[in-house]
Structure 1
Amino acid sequence: MSGIVLTLLRHSRSRAALVVLALVPLLLLAHRAPAAHAASGPAWGVLASGCTAADIAANRAAGIGLVEVEAYWDRWLPTSATAENTDYVDDLAARVTACLDAGMRVVLGTGTQYPPSWVRGLPGATLVDQRGNSPATGAVDTVFSAAVRGAQDDYLRRIVAALPVSRLDGIRVGTSTAGEIGFPGPNESGTGFLQSFWAFGADAQQGTGLAAGMPRSPMPGWIPGTRTWNGTAVTAAAAQNWFLWYERSLMYAVKGQADTLRGAGYGGAVHVPAPGKGVLPADLTAATNALLNGTGDRDGSLGRGLYYVDQFPVLAGNVASTVVVDLTGVDDATAVTARRLSPAQDMCRADDASTSTRPSTPVATWSNLRFARAQAARAGLAAVGENPGPPAAQTGGTADSDSEAEQIRRSPGYARGCALAAFFLAFEDVLDDPSSGSDRQDYVDAVTGAS
């Protein structure tokens, strides 16, 4: 297994303004033809590489030519918006350059999920849900807060200025504490409530301190599940429009990061990590008919604002940079469940893009990867993927997931079957840890079919 490379597809993108209107039908965007993938199949890589001399040597010996390297916002600017930790910046730049000089392809994670402590004190930094609660995880508002977005934009510009970004294969952007798209997840308020909508700060509701270009709530003050607003009955259509505003706010935030990188001089691809399968069309119908009172929320995707059926086409039509969706559910727990069905529902199929939004298609039984991949294909977006990692590591795996060793064995088949441009194994340090029971040779064997 040698000469493994990633070929990213370059598409021209419309810069038409992304518009969210109150109480109107869904924004219609033309769907592009599904993106083709490299004829040689996926490129094989690893997540969270250190790009040390030892890492580079081990990866090259195994034929792994693609790595993701993570930057850390809190290490870059630990004490203030202007005081760079130059030792950290120089070390990161040296390691990224070392990987590139060794012929490795590099995707950079910006690490905006690791905000410095001083960011938490900025106006509007605290996320607020409909009950007035804030995330117990300490997540900050990188979606609505103008002050936080400004600090984040400054950090992104510093990345472009300090690192060899013209040589990168991609830069990852996200909004959540996992570095993926999404608001905080179920019960992250720490109060026992399974569903929170994180758009109830003054910025999102009243427009006070709202990030530039972001629309405020189409129904200021309305609480999901409430039957009236300003003395008027709330319809299912109004509830759906509110949810579309909520989920598209994430796309505004992603577009903002992509535009900042592009404006700073980065012309390459933007990778958008996307967890799970998101809200299904039938879920949204049930949820909005119940005025978003919690009905129809299978896995917390409503509160997290994940609706790929709409979001991926919005990204494709409104982000000037090349967008590559990173599907983070390769061989997750839903794949385990889906492959036990008769017939199995875990593997992608050629007609998934056209059938996945039909009411008669039982997409609830599909694996997360299969459904999310179909939405990327519908939108004409290239896709890469990654597995959740060791179930005990709290990186996406659960007690129902395959073991890491089994994920290593099965993931290459899913990556090929779902026409992914690349697969990133989570994580490099797993392959270096003798106690994990897996090493690079196991990964090589899985990719080559020797296992």
Structure 2
Amino acid sequence: MSTHDADVVDVLHRLTAAGRRRLRLGALLALVSALVSALLTTTATADSGGGTIAPVRLSLLQPDVSKASVYRAAGIDMVTLELGWDAYQPAPGTTDRDYVARQVRTAEAFRSAGLGVVLDLGVQYPPAWAFDLSSATRFVDQYGTAWHGDTGTDVLNAVWEPLARQAEAAYVRQVATDFTGIPFVSVRVGGLLSGEVRLPPPTSAGHSDSMWGFDPRARAASPVSGWSPGTGTPSDAAAWVDFYLGSLADFEVWLARTVADSFPGTPLDVLMPGWGMRPGDTQTAIDALAVTGSPGRVVAEVGPGLDWARQTAALAATGLDITLVTTWLDAPSYGSSARDESPADHLARLAAQHGLPISGENTGGGGQAALDRVVAQAAALPITRVTWMSAGSLTSGGGVTLTDLRRAFPPAVAPAAPTGVTARRLDVWVVVSWQPPPTDGGSPVTRFTVSMSATGSSVTAPADSSAVLFRVAPGTSPSFTVTAANGSGTSPSSAPVTVVNGAAGGSWIVAAVPGGRLFTSPDGREFFLVSAEGVVLSHALGQGPGRRDADPAPVATTSRGELAAPPAMPAAAALDVPDAGPLAHSRPGTAVGDCRETVTTAAAAVSSAGWAATPPAQTAAGVLIDYLRLLMNAPADAPQTSGCIPR
């Protein structure tokens, strides 16, 4: 018996024991809460039906639309559509409609070839007019040097200049409007040099320690007025470094929210470049800035603001669907510590702390050695998507071909058949159970389907299931088969199994509980928690609370909020179940957000005189809570209770 099953049984025992002693209202409600929690937790933490990590999906940067069918035939899953803000809006208030039409056609051509499309907004290519919005649209270092980069790195200072943010936000909204109806796989978010989350490099205009927070807007926002490296106190340096790194994280959160608002429901890929700051780097920079005016040996990461720990925490706090992308997936590790591990390992460590997924892309070039490193990282880390830089390099002369890339990450196939299938009779019900297939085909199992020979009826169960419940006609011995399915297909059927007898004698009791129904054996020692569709959510064995009568007994109360003996749990006598076929009916409640079912108590209280019939539309949780109102003789306006059964 699993830990969660034991939790369910323990709470059931405690609820039954409540009938043998007087219990105050608060204590009873605590037990109810524990039961609901145990049931919901059991549902949410069932063992996975899959066997291995999902296969890696392959994406290409800088693809050639004329080769879309070639990419798909080679097993490529998606490509990136890269826009250019400068081409999109060449003048203030104008949009190049011919350019937009070409890009829309390109996206549609990729999708027609069976490729997913990742959108790169191209904010890293600002139009010339955007730099004229104010005197603070360019980054400036402590030496007064304004940053001017090459194509893709000559970026707008939207970290500190609000007018730059307004222009970027308007552009993002325009793109979303123009591409309405095209379902992008994700949108890349970075907004700065090369479309990544980084400020200009520390080497500029003959200097090697540039810090880029000294434009007029940044100076005005600085917490230490007039501060510059090498001046003030160590605490001044600490306050400024915190401001500098925090400003970049704030910008990235703003950009992520801006993109998410314009592309609702579309996942975001946030590009995290370089090596990333490591533990101790912030303090090292503060100490060096306060004494010498230079960040010292950590300038390569501190200058561009690569504070991944801060950025990861800030992005996770948004609650958006964000994947962190290392743009240096082919970088090596130099040790196992947080300071020496590779960028991919370090980013994976930080992402895991906040429950964010990661993916990665190579830096470009490197040939077979780079591919080997990418493969090793994808196998060792929870990476399910690899982006290759670039499509144009996938030739025999580039060291890695499309064939090499696909061979390194083979596609998934359908899983093998489930094993260990059994069919056990319980009164007029049959529990069919199974074990996951020995191989999942390289892609996680997404569902199981159990079929009964007598009627052709079937039950589809989610991947975290291992048993379903059928009701069978008396005197029949049907056979059952089970199949498994993943994203690539459906397995062969398992060998047919016929019903074997289970516990003999007596009728099983069926009671409505949160999430479905509770089946209790005649001796009260065995329990099956079953969803409305017939999927067995939990199976527990133990010292049961004893059989309950079908008819509830009257409540005997001695004072408000106390009870002497509880009535019986209501039996679901009027289950909408045919004589043969799967136990199933329309799911109560409404799917909301991340809840597979949202359960809320019925508004009306149940009379203490007896148990009223429950209409099919009422939620299972309402049945239990109303029953407990009956236990407590609670008024109709008692506080309502609700809960979420996770997907």
Q: Would you say same fold, with TM above 0.5?
A: yes
1:183 to 180, 199, 220: 199
1:131 aligns with 2:143: yes
For 1:173-212, what per-residue CA distance to the aligned partner results, in whole angstroms no more than 9, with x for missing partners?
113221100110121x3x2211222111111222xxxxxx
Task: Decide whether the 8 Å contact of 2:271 with 2:327 is kept in 1.
Answer: yes
1:447 to 403, 409, 414: 409
For 1:225-281, what per-residue CA distance to the aligned partner results, in whole angstroms no more than 9, with x for missing partners?
22x2xxxxx234x42332222112122222222222233353211211001232112
Would the alpha carbon gap of residues 363 and 315 (structure 1) be closer, same or farther in structure 2, given more than 3 Å must change?
Answer: same
1:65 to 72, 77, 88: 77
For 1:327-382, what per-residue CA distance to the aligned partner results, in whole angstroms no more than 9, with x for missing partners?
111113xx1xx3xx6xx65xxxxxxxxxxxxxxxx333222221122112222211
Q: Which amino acid aligns with 1:203?
A: R
**Corresponding residue for residue 372 of structure 1:** 347
Task: Decide whether the 8 Å contact of 1:160 with 1:266 is kept in 2.
Answer: no
**Corresponding residue for residue 42 of structure 1:** 56
**Corresponding residue for residue 405 of structure 1:** 368
Aligned CA RMSD, in angstroms, stands at 2.3
Task: Decide whether the 8 Å contact of 1:277 with 1:372 is kept in 2.
Answer: no
Would the alpha carbon gap of residues 262 and 309 (structure 1) be closer, same or farther in structure 2, given more than 3 Å must change?
Answer: closer
Task: Decide whether the 8 Å contact of 1:165 with 1:266 is kept in 2.
Answer: no
**Corresponding residue for residue 177 of structure 2:** 161
Q: Which amino acid aligns with 1:74?
A: D
Matches within 5 A, 1:162-311: 162-164=178-180, 167-187=183-203, 189=204, 191-206=205-220, 216-226=221-231, 228=232, 234-236=233-235, 238-291=236-289, 293-298=293-298, 300-311=300-311
- Tell me how far apart the structure 2 counterparts of residues 156 and 112 of structure 1 sit (CA, whole Å): 9
Matches within 5 A, 1:24-173: 39-50=53-64, 52=65, 54-78=66-90, 80-123=91-134, 124-137=136-149, 138-164=154-180, 167-173=183-189
Matches within 5 A, 1:5-16: none
* Offset at residue 438 of structure 1 (A): 2.8
**Corresponding residue for residue 583 of structure 2:** none
- Tell me how far apart the structure 1 counterparts of residues 276 and 296 of structure 2 sit (CA, whole Å): 12
1:384 aligns with 2:396: no
* Offset at residue 166 of structure 1 (A): 5.8
Would the alpha carbon gap of residues 175 and 224 (structure 1) be closer, same or farther in structure 2, given more than 3 Å must change?
Answer: farther
**SS at structure 2 position matched to 1:280:** coil
For 1:145-180, what per-residue CA distance to the aligned partner results, in whole angstroms no more than 9, with x for missing partners?
122111111110111001147611211111322110
Task: Decide whether the 8 Å contact of 1:113 with 1:175 is kept in 2.
Answer: yes
Would the alpha carbon gap of residues 118 and 41 (structure 1) be closer, same or farther in structure 2, given more than 3 Å must change?
Answer: same
* Offset at residue 299 of structure 1 (A): 5.4
For 1:22-48, what per-residue CA distance to the aligned partner results, in whole angstroms no more than 9, with x for missing partners?
xxxxxxxxxxxxxx9993133122112
Q: Which has the higher helix share?
A: 1
Q: TM-score normalized by structure 2?
A: 0.52
- Ranked by relative contact order (alpha carbons within 8 Å, sequence separation 6 or more), the top structure is 1
- Tell me how far apart the structure 1 counterparts of residues 181 and 247 of structure 2 sit (CA, whole Å): 27
**SS at structure 2 position matched to 1:218:** coil
**SS at structure 2 position matched to 1:281:** coil
Gaps of 5+ in 2: 1-47, 412-647
Q: TM-score normalized by structure 1?
A: 0.74
**SS at structure 2 position matched to 1:111:** coil
**Corresponding residue for residue 417 of structure 1:** 380
- Tell me how far apart the structure 2 counterparts of residues 267 and 374 of structure 1 sit (CA, whole Å): 26
1:429 to 380, 387, 392: 392
**SS at structure 2 position matched to 1:421:** strand
Q: Which amino acid aligns with 1:89?
A: V
Task: Decide whether the 8 Å contact of 1:128 with 1:200 is kept in 2.
Answer: yes
Would the alpha carbon gap of residues 271 and 265 (structure 1) be closer, same or farther in structure 2, given more than 3 Å must change?
Answer: closer
**SS at structure 1 position matched to 2:303:** helix
**SS at structure 2 position matched to 1:278:** coil
Q: Which amino acid aligns with 1:290?
A: A
**SS at structure 2 position matched to 1:306:** coil
**SS at structure 2 position matched to 1:300:** helix
* Offset at residue 434 of structure 1 (A): 4.9
**Corresponding residue for residue 315 of structure 2:** 315
Would the alpha carbon gap of residues 378 and 241 (structure 1) be closer, same or farther in structure 2, given more than 3 Å must change?
Answer: farther
Task: Decide whether the 8 Å contact of 2:362 with 2:387 is kept in 1.
Answer: yes
For 1:279-316, what per-residue CA distance to the aligned partner results, in whole angstroms no more than 9, with x for missing partners?
11212222212335334543511111111122201110
Task: Decide whether the 8 Å contact of 1:183 with 1:303 is kept in 2.
Answer: yes
**Corresponding residue for residue 324 of structure 1:** 323
* Offset at residue 59 of structure 1 (A): 1.1
- Tell me how far apart the structure 2 counterparts of residues 139 and 363 of structure 1 sit (CA, whole Å): 31
Q: How many aligned residue pairs are there?
A: 355
Would the alpha carbon gap of residues 266 and 55 (structure 1) be closer, same or farther in structure 2, given more than 3 Å must change?
Answer: farther
* Offset at residue 220 of structure 1 (A): 2.5
**SS at structure 2 position matched to 1:364:** coil
- Tell me how far apart the structure 1 counterparts of residues 187 and 271 of structure 2 sit (CA, whole Å): 11
- Tell me how far apart the structure 1 counterparts of residues 267 and 176 of structure 2 sit (CA, whole Å): 13
- Tell me how far apart the structure 2 counterparts of residues 299 and 323 of structure 1 sit (CA, whole Å): 28
Would the alpha carbon gap of residues 437 and 311 (structure 1) be closer, same or farther in structure 2, given more than 3 Å must change?
Answer: closer
